[in-house]
Structure 1
């Protein structure tokens, strides 16, 4: 079977600090403690990402 590769166009990049992500990290740690198993592909919500510093494209 042939696979088609689609190019990726970069639109925006945000810089996030550990402090900004701390609440999400704590949430994930609680889930790990409660379920006693690793997280399966955790995601950072776009709403949280957009609170970071926009580094690309530069204004």
Structure 2
């Protein structure tokens, strides 16, 4: 079994599965479920992207 040492260092190996994120017009990032297309969460604490979640291409 693979491990991601050291524990608690604030990073992960690999991306979060079946999730993507995009930037809103206000500059916040919103997380989306790629299977259903529904928005799940908006990051309002700061305007940095979610960690470990892939970004959608902006149009």
Q: Which TM-score applies when normalising by structure 1?
A: 0.19
Structure ranking higher in strand proportion: 2
Q: Which has the higher helix share?
A: 1
TM-score w.r.t. the length of structure 2 is 0.19
Q: Which has the larger radius of gyration?
A: 1
